[in-house]
Chain A
Amino acid sequence: MAMKKIWAIFQKDLLIELRTKDTLNSMLFFGIVVLVVFNFALESLRDSVHSAVPGVLWVAFAFSGTLGLHRMFASEKENSCLQGLLMIPADRGGIYLGKMLAATVFMLIAEAIIFVLSLVFFNLTVWKEIPYLVLICLIGTLGFTAVGTLLSAIAVNTKLREVLLPLILFPVILPVLVNAVEATAILLNKSDYGALKLPLTVMSVFTIVFVTVSYLLFEYVLED
């Protein structure tokens, strides 16, 4: 039963997105802009630019993800939709999980396109690394949205709104970002895959801890 409600919220967000395409468009566009800006910023590193790609990629993912996370609750503020959502007979944790899953799917779609573009911009070739890359993106994105969804619900109910989200999100999310960059660097440098175990473990622990904690604490951050 609970699963059904989570699924319903997830479907609702996906359906709205399919019709308006607001969130994904802005996420993608911003991600591409970040890639282009970094291309200029790293101009002096032209010969060794490959070593900067993992960092650039995850900055692009994180920035575009922040836009997406902000929209998750900002769109609910219009016409008091959040109040309606709170009235459904499900526990608040269910709302959190549904929203988190939707945010994760949006981010993964944006990441896939940004990644393909970065292959073109930075002249990279990857084929056999793809399964591992997908795994890193999956865990990293889940960790990002696990905290992000909770903090987005906090930020949207403050006076600062969208300005507050990156300020409170980035310090918290640092363990995921550092390890995701590390893992991506190991893959793109084609070094020993055994080294992947450590960053992936830290990312997984982060994700598990913060999905659980956010699920339990979510009911406190919503306005009644």
Chain B
Amino acid sequence: MSERSQSRLDTVLGVVLAFGMVAALYMAFIEAPREKTMGDLQRIFYFHVPIAIAGMTSFAVNFAASLMVLIRKNRWWDHLALAAAEIGVVFFVIVLVTGSIWAKPEWLVWWTWSPRLTASLILCLLYAAYLLIRNYIEDPERRALVCAVFGIIAFLDAPLVWFSIRWWRDIHPSPMLETGGLSPSMRPAFYVCLAVFQVFLVYMLRRRFFLESMRDELETFERQIG
């Protein structure tokens, strides 16, 4: 795709996102019914869960891109992997923060070491470590390979982290969609938010990817001059 059609796609995505975000806010705060026991507190769910799913999608993108770095030895994939890891970490920090905001009135504590919470925190730390490694390797070719290796390790580790702590007492609500616990009247709002945050993820991935590509290009020019 040419640069012009790329930027046109970004504009379209941006406009869709602007309307989508407004729609998501409307659905979550006005359209969706008030929950019986939790009241308005429950509305944070429409952001907490879709962002968590978008965050996990982002880590999966990082894994796929990391594999491609090793196969193709191509910096293009490395830029995508970086974008995915960074956005995944940001999303998971939002998940942990919104979760804490919900937990304080509901569980009366900000934090508890339940499996779901612990696994999310560890996932966050794993990809923070990924970003940390990036800072300390200067050669871009080697950085791409080493980070790809760590990205693969981190993604394979995630299910093991989950299995190793699953027997802890879990007070986190179980996934409502699987158990059918989400009332049909709440579903439209949830699905709108889910879709909007997936679009948001794509948009952010594209922006971060282009930023990284430009930075890389600039670095290459600087090296040629210097």
CB distance A221 to B164 under 8 Å?
no
Of chain B, the residue at the smallest CB distance from A143 is B160
User: Closest Cβ of chain A: how far from B157's Cβ, in Å?
Assistant: 5
Which residue of B70, B132, B142, B164 has the most chain A CB atoms within 10 A of its CB atom?
Answer: B164
A168 interface residue per 8 A CB criterion: yes
Chain A residue nearest to B149 (CB atoms) is: A217
Contacts of B149 in A (CB 8 A): 150, 154, 217, 220-221
A88 on the interface (CB 8 Å rule)?
no
Q: Are B142 and A160 in contact (CB under 8 A)?
A: no
**A167 nearest CB across to chain B (Å):** 6
What are the residues of chain B within 8 A of A213 when measuring CB–CB?
152-153, 156
Q: Is there contact, CB below 8 Å, between B133 and A175?
A: no
B146 part of interface (Cβ distance < 8 Å) = yes
| Interface positions of A from 193 to 224, Cβ below 8 Å from B | 198-199, 202, 205-206, 209-210, 213-214, 217, 220-221, 223
A184 in the interface, Cβ–Cβ < 8 Å? no
* Smallest beta-carbon distance A75→chain B, Å: 20
Q: Are B145 and A164 in contact (CB under 8 A)?
A: no
The number of inter-chain residue pairs (CB within 8 angstroms) is 81
Q: Which chain B residue shows the least CB distance to A218?
A: B149
Q: How far is the CB of B50 from chain A (nearest CB, A)?
A: 25
Task: List chain A residues, Cβ under 8 A from B122.
Answer: 171, 174
- Of residues 95 through 138 on chain B, the ones whose CB sits less than 8 Å from some CB of chain A are 122, 125-126, 129, 132-133, 136-138
Given known contacts A154-B150, A209-B160, is B70 in contact with A171 (CB within 8 Å)? Answer: no
Report B153-166 CB contacts with A as 1/0, cut-off 8 Å. Answer: 11011001101110
Bound complex: CA A206 to CA B161 (Å): 10
A160 to chain B, nearest CB (A): 5
Is A23 at the interface (CB under 8 A from chain B)?
Answer: no
Contact indicator A150/B129 (Cβ below 8 Å):
no
* A19 within 8 Å of B (CB atoms): no
Chain B residues contacting A214 (CB-CB under 8 Å) are 153
Q: Are B70 and A210 in contact (CB under 8 A)?
A: no
Which residues of A99-152 are within 8 A (CB) of B?
Answer: 147, 150-151
- A160 and B153 contacting across the interface, CB-CB below 8 Å: no
At the interface, yes or no: A158 with Cβ under 8 Å from chain B?
yes
In the bound complex, residues from chain B placing their C-beta under 8 Å from that of A158 are 133, 136-137
Nearest residue (CB) in A for B147 is A154
Q: Is B148 part of the binding interface, using a Cβ–Cβ cutoff of 8 Å?
A: yes
Taken together as a complex, chains A and B put the C-alpha atoms of A211 and B157 apart, in Å, by 13
Q: Given known contacts A171-B129, A220-B148, A223-B142, is B136 in contact with A150 (CB within 8 Å)?
A: no
A167 / chain B contacts, CB cutoff of 8 Å: 129, 132
The answer, yes or no, to whether A172 is at the interface (CB within 8 Å) is: yes
| 25 residue pairs A–B, Cβ–Cβ below 8 Å | A147-B153, A158-B133, A158-B136, A158-B137, A160-B136, A164-B132, A164-B133, A167-B132, A168-B132, A172-B126, A174-B157, A175-B157, A175-B164, A178-B164, A178-B165, A179-B164, A202-B160, A202-B164, A205-B160, A209-B160, A213-B152, A213-B153, A213-B156, A221-B146, A223-B142
Name 5 extra pairs, CB < 8 A, besides A168-B133, A172-B154: A171-B122, A174-B157, A209-B160, A217-B149, A220-B70
Query: What is the interface of chain A, defined by CB distance below 8 A to chain B?
Result: 147, 150-151, 154, 157-160, 164, 167-168, 171-172, 174-176, 178-179, 198-199, 202, 205-206, 209-210, 213-214, 217, 220-221, 223
Spell out B's residues near A (CB within 8 Å): 70, 122, 125-126, 129, 132-133, 136-138, 142, 145-146, 148-150, 152-154, 156-157, 160-161, 163-165, 167
